[in-house]
């Protein structure tokens, strides 16, 4: 195995200028990540200079077998923490040969919203808290839990340390460093309330970059858990009963919110969100009704609410924001399996473009 490891870690720059680009896209479920690699003649830093590529959409439930070609458009480049050197990860979205976004391409519509002059002028910032659960590969039971049984009740696990409290820290730290290496704006990690559950935060990022970076971070995490022989779950309620679910809280601000007097803009934005509560819930992830019950630090899915420092509300405003009269707010409704392109663009659309 040491020889295999040596070969995997070969430094290509010692013998060739060629690089490997791993093209990454979202599959037919809207959540599964697919990728394949190709050789390029030299280093590339601008996605516009990368070639388009195609794949068999009939094998990803994105095209029929008799017209299966789907085209990948490169959109964002990250350094490859697995191959290292000048090798890259490439976030792509998918189109028909005629140039139309396929139905599962949510990035295309998000890009339209973020390119709207009114949205661009407000420079929307996002900080996304991605929660996830690590599962034992052969049992689909949370990492660190006794097979067929349960650990002690919640309490000691949130931000906990110790072999009986924190399960999977090596995976979490490997992911943290790999994201920093890749150029993702990962801003922190922590163990969550349910044992075997963790969170990483990405942000602040501006506009469409929030979605690109969350998907890149998810891909890197999938690859690391693959190496570790552990399964990554983004299910919003992986274990029934008195256990916390998994969300993807979205912290958000616009230039007007960050300026003096921004608290009034924040309150108007929250009012707009309340008027479109059902539409947002429908777009905020599958199975979210199992998580948003009004318990375990959530608001009831059927009722919109907001408050200062209230983690049982749909939207939370921080104490610092209230005190300073400007800042940001947190939409706590998105599920862990949400599409960040959909959520970030929808929040911008509702708060900026809706009159």
Summarised one tens digit per residue, pLDDT across range 81-96 is: 999 999 999 999 999 9
CA gap 354, 209 in Å, rounded: 22
pLDDT of residue 45: 97
pTM comes to 0.97
- 197 strand-pairing partners: 133
pLDDT on residue 148: 87
pLDDT tens-digit map of 38-71:
999 999 999 999 999 999 999 999 999 999 999 9
Please compute the mean of the pLDDT values over residues 172-181 and round it to a whole number.
Answer: 98
Rounded average pLDDT over 246-261:
98
Question: For residue 120, with 0-12 CB atoms within 10 Å meaning exposed, 13-18 middle and 19 or more buried, which class applies?
Answer: middle
Q: How far apart are CA 108 and CA 119, in angstroms?
A: 16
Q: What percent of the chain stands above pLDDT 90? A: 95
pLDDT above 60 (res 21) = yes
Half-sphere exposure of 1 (CA within 13 A, CB side): 0
Average pLDDT, the chain: 97
Place 152 in a pLDDT band, splitting at 50, 70 and 90.
Answer: very high
């Amino acid at each position: 195995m040491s020889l295999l490891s040596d070969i995997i870690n070969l430094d290509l720059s010692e013998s060739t200028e060629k690089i490997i680009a791993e093209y990454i896209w979202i599959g037919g479920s809207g959540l599964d990540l697919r990728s394949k690699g190709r050789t390029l003649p030299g280093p590339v830093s601008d996605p516009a200079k990368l070639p388009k590529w195609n794949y068999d959409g009939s094998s990803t439930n994105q095209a029929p077998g008799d017209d299966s070609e789907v085209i990948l458009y490169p959109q964002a480049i990250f350094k490859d923490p697995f191959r290292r050197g000048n090798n890259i990860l490439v976030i792509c979205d998918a189109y028909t040969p005629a140039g139309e976004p396929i139905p599962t391409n949510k990035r295309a519509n998000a890009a339209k919203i973020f390119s709207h002059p009114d949205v661009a002028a407000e420079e929307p910032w996002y900080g996304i808290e991605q929660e996830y659960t690590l599962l034992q590969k052969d049992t689909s039971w949370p990492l660190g839990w006794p097979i067929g049984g349960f650990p002690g009740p919640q309490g000691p696990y949130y931000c906990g340390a110790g072999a009986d409290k924190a399960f999977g820290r090596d995976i979490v730290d490997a992911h943290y460093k790999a994201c920093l290496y890749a150029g993702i704006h990962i801003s922190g990690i922590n163990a969550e309330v349910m044992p075997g559950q963790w969170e990483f935060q990405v942000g602040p990022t501006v506009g469409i970059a929030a979605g690109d970076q969350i998907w890149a971070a998810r891909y890197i995490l999938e690859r690391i858990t693959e190496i570790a022989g552990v399964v990554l779950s983004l299910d919003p309620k992986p274990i029934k009963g008195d256990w916390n679910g998994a969300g993807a809280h979205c912290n958000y601000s616009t230039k007007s919110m960050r300026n003096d007097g921004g608290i009034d803009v924040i309150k108007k934005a929250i009012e707009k969100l309340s008027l479109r509560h059902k539409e947002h819930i429908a777009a905020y992830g599958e199975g979210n009704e199992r998580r948003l019950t009004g318990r375990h630090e959530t608001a009831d899915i059927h009722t919109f609410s907001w408050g200062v420092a209230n983690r049982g509300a749909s939207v939370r405003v921080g104490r610092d924001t209230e005190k300073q009269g400007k800042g940001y707010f947190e939409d706590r409704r998105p599920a862990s399996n949400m599409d960040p392109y959909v959520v970030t663009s929808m929040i911008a659309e509702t708060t900026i473009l809706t009159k």
